[in-house]
Amino acid sequence: MNQISFTDTYTLGEIVLENEHYRHYHYPEMLVRYDSNFIEFKQGSTLQEFIKAEEYLKEFHQKRGQNHLKFLFPVNYNPQVDLKAFLKEIGYGVGLLELYAIKPTDFPILPGNSDIEIQSVTRETLENLVNLKYQQDLEFGEEFAEQKKELTRRQFDNLMIQQVLAFYKGVAVGYVDLIISKETVEIDDLSVGELYQKKGIGSRLQQFAMTSYPNRTIILLADGTDTPREMYRKQNYQYLGFKFEILKVN
């Protein structure tokens, strides 16, 4: 488990610039997806280094009609006091990404539930997934939700991504994407409709990953300020580190 790190997680986007200080990720197919269009610092950043990187990213995004700025800091790095003060002053929101991992045999055994069915997405059920994700994504804006539709369809043909649907009494109510690599499977974009939460559906979506890939380490990224991280800890996931992320939307 110790060898698992943030480098094992999946980033949708291409590196369009890399220097000694940072990597710049860009995904022209979905410019409004913050998690695909950002700068990741490779080492601790001084205030002046950050300002220089911000100027570069701002110019790059403005040329493409993008209205956000997002930055990730190195693993387990806490930005300096003067940089934190500057970020707060100019309106950046600060978040925390936490990395978790688990061996499938350590995941709690769940009782059977005939109301819940978990299955891989097929060509016949793909539009169920597209429509379900669209409804969930509307909270991030109609433009994002519309572009996500096409992303979901593209990912169906991506052999390294397994799309999974959860049905409750025959109705599609939840989903997860499993990102498959040689050593790990990453749980990504897990969601259950609000009316169907607290029924064990999210846990069974995770269980599907455990039973489908018993010989790989299951990993996920969690919001370090949100309640699901407590659920992951209770499910025996191991905490492996954090990254600060900052975002400003104009």
Confidence of residue 228 (pLDDT cuts 50, 70, 90): confident
Q: How confident is the model at residue 1 (pLDDT cuts 50, 70, 90)?
A: low
Task: Sort residue 122 into left (φ over 0), alpha (ψ -120 to 50) or beta.
Answer: beta
| Residues 12-16, mean pLDDT to the nearest whole number | 97
Per-residue model confidence (pLDDT) at position 231: 86
Q: Is the pLDDT of residue 55 over 90?
A: yes
Q: What is the pLDDT of residues 138-196, one digit of tens each?
A: 999 999 999 999 999 999 999 999 999 999 999 999 999 999 999 999 999 999 999 99
Q: Which residues contact 122 (CB under 8 A, 6 or more apart)?
A: none
The per-residue pLDDT of the chain, averaged, comes to 95
pLDDT digits (tens, 9 = 90+) for 130-151: 999 999 999 999 999 999 999 9
